[in-house]
Structure 1
């Protein structure tokens, strides 16, 4: 017996309340904007500036012990991770410590670096001082990183718009892009609302979410395009319902297996990747939702020109019989 999360031949009506789903999404987008404007994001060191310290020790690194030792210094946002660096040889015990820029200072001062060394050496007598390297990122560079990250997300969504427009009709492209913007805004919104640290890893998660959501949407739209030709006499909402029901099993199996891996990483992966994994979990959920209830609802709202004077073996591409 094969495991099925969704039974075969489902016949759910996804569009009996499609205005309600769009209204709910619009409300969540407004809440996300309001949260972002009122309290902003909890930017990490990548975007606020700070100092990166690499330590070397003759004893194994205990990240938890290091973190507890630095908490007494009240340094704010501190990230600690054990790293592999080939420049330190095979028997290495190297850690990377990232400390946010202190208020009123361009970077962590030399005096504070010394205090960090003393605190760490108290819990790790094998720690070598001075530190192997100390590097600072100023506020100006951090501001440039924010701009570059925003441009990366916007360009990714623009590329998706062009791709879908070439592959399908423009109505499909608008539906797909609205769904992607919906996913990105809601992800930024929940990070703002919960004040979870927002750094470059989250930007990577946003770009991954765009790709994941697009994949889901294209699978549904491919089936819609096939069924528009197959069911010429049916209304568009009927064709959309048939198409989503036909791909529902695949959609839920993909999302469920992805979530299993992500939840395991969230529970067992540690603090270093927890923000990234949380963004991915949220992105998979809202991406699956938007593929069904946002992208397709926008397509239903805009409508699709169905010109059946052309041969039925066309691919549905607006530029003619182009192999998709």
Structure 2
């Protein structure tokens, strides 16, 4: 635990960093592949809608002894009805109803299939015809629930965009948060389709609940992004660097929140699916478990990356990127900006034009022209201004008489008394 805390502190201070917004193409491909697989599962397998949406038959058992109204009896009834071999009764829902009743729900059945189900019930509990009350469940109620659920999701998403837009004053954050929510919904529906669990009103309720959890985590990350990017010029960071630091700073909080939320939901999922077999609980737990896990992933990997991508074309962000590249280049080669002097130093042969004289030609004299007149080449190397060459400075041209100076090691202008100045 101590190492984890130290890691969180190093991530928060920036001493260690995980690149969450880099490698844009690679992580877009990974997220896109996950969403595509989830969509393919939904298309190929479809969703197993419960009797609340498709209609079915409900058997109400009344007048049972309290010793019979137990979870063991419910499990025996579920197995007996499933063993009838009837396709629409292969996954019955069996629950207790008060202290003296049981409730069995299956899909739509014919009269013959209904009679076989009643015989299976009687093989487990001793009930009379008066104690069994079969009734049909219409699909109209389930359709109404589905329509209201869709309406609730649409209203929720609109309110989410308005809230983030007003809170952050940034419509691009709203788009990124909405994309993360869609990502979580698609993955949850895909896993639900793959599991074969029936879609019930409890599952729809769980789906609405995960939207709030995913939004909460994304808003926390975006709030830190806004704080870090408020003064990019002072921190000398690019928008991507500041956003990535924000994700690192909130990473430990996101992981801790996700673990705390997933542990109880996972426990409910295990107990309801493995031990109790209660569909209403396992449907709710599965949608919440998958949705919360996907919400943690999207708030860290998806939403910040989409936000940085949307902001990459803004002028302030582009200028910050250019400044960062210039600083990186200067740090890589600190001498790249030092000016290069191409003029010849006094007393050197650099830049001296010797005409047609070729190196190694001993017949020509570079100190005389063709008529034998001496050519002035400046002071000889090692005296005067040339002596200063290579010592860190170059002496200017003398404006008056000069003479050798033992202290300076080169020629220095001679100073005449005031009475002799201007006199020859």
Q: Same fold (TM over 0.5)?
A: yes
1:189, distance to aligned residue in structure 2 (A): 1.4
**2:276 maps to 1:265:** no
Partner of 1:130: helix, strand, or coil? helix
1:151 aligns with 2:148: no
Give the superposition deviation at 1:248: 1.1
The residue number in structure 1 matching 2:246 is 243
Aligned to 2:230: 229
Change (3 A) 1:53 1:4: farther
Do the aligned partners of 1:52 and 1:99 also contact (CA within 8 Å) in 2? Answer: yes
Match of 1:252 in 2: 255
Distance across 2 between alignment mates of 1:144 and 1:254: 35
**2:305 corresponds to 1:297:** yes
Alignment map for 1:172-321 (pairs within 5 Å): 172-232=173-233, 233-269=236-272, 270-272=276-278, 273-303=281-311
CA contact (8 A) 1:237 1:300 kept: yes
CA distance in 1, matches of 2:20, 2:36: 24
Asked if 2 retains the 8 angstrom alpha-carbon contact of 1:76 and 1:100, the reply is: no
User: Following TM superposition, by how much is the alpha carbon of 1:263 offset from its aligned partner in structure 2, in angstroms?
Assistant: 1.9
Alignment partners' CA distance in 2, 1:3 and 1:260: 22
Equivalent residues of 2:251, 2:300 under 8 A apart: no
1:93 aligns with 2:104: no
Rg (Cα) greater in structure: 2
TM-score, structure 1 as length reference: 0.82
In structure 1, the partner of 2:388 is none
Give CA-to-partner distance per residue, 1:247-293, whole Å, 9 cap, x none. Answer: 11111111111121122112223322223212222112111010011
- Judge conservation of contact 1:44–1:77 (CA < 8 Å) in 2: no
Deviates more, 1:146-155 or 1:64-73: 146-155
- Contact 2:184–2:291 (8 Å) recurs in 1: yes
User: Are the counterparts in 2 of residues 117 and 129 from structure 1 also a CA contact under 8 Å?
Assistant: no
Whether the 8 Å CA contact 1:81–1:97 is kept in 2: the answer is yes
CA distance in 1, matches of 2:156, 2:238: 33
Q: Give the 3-state SS of the residue equivalent to 1:7 in structure 2.
A: helix
Q: Structure 1 unaligned runs (5+)?
A: 85-91, 103-107, 308-324
CA contact (8 A) 1:22 1:293 kept: no
Partners of 1:173 and 1:303 lie apart in 2 by 12
Q: Taking structure 2 as the reference length, what is the TM-score of the superposition?
A: 0.63
Cα 1:141/1:265, change in 2 over 3 Å: closer
- Segments of structure 2 that go 5 or more residues without pairing to the other structure are 12-16, 317-424
Q: Using CA pairs under 8 Å that are at least 6 residues apart, name the structure with larger relative contact order, 1 or 2.
A: 1
Secondary structure in 2 matching 1:237:
helix
Alpha-carbon distance in structure 1 between the residues aligned to 2:36 and 2:258: 26
Give the one of 87, 90, 97 matched to 1:76.
Answer: 90
1:122, 1:227 → 2: CA distance?
69
Q: How does 1:24-43 map to 2 (within 5 A)?
A: 24-43=30-49
Match of 2:68 in 1: 60
Distance 2:4 2:100 in 1: 47
- Listed as ranges, the matches of 1:93-172 within 5 Å are 93-102=100-109, 109=111, 112-125=113-126, 127=127, 129-131=129-131, 133-168=133-168, 169-172=170-173
Q: Which residue of 2 aligns with 1:89?
A: none
Q: How many residues align?
A: 294
Q: For 1:258 and 1:251, locate their aligned partners in 2 and report how far apart those are by CA, in whole Å.
A: 11
Cα distance, 1:244 vs structure 2: 1.0
CA RMSD of the aligned region, Å?
A: 2.5
SS in 2 for 1:173: helix
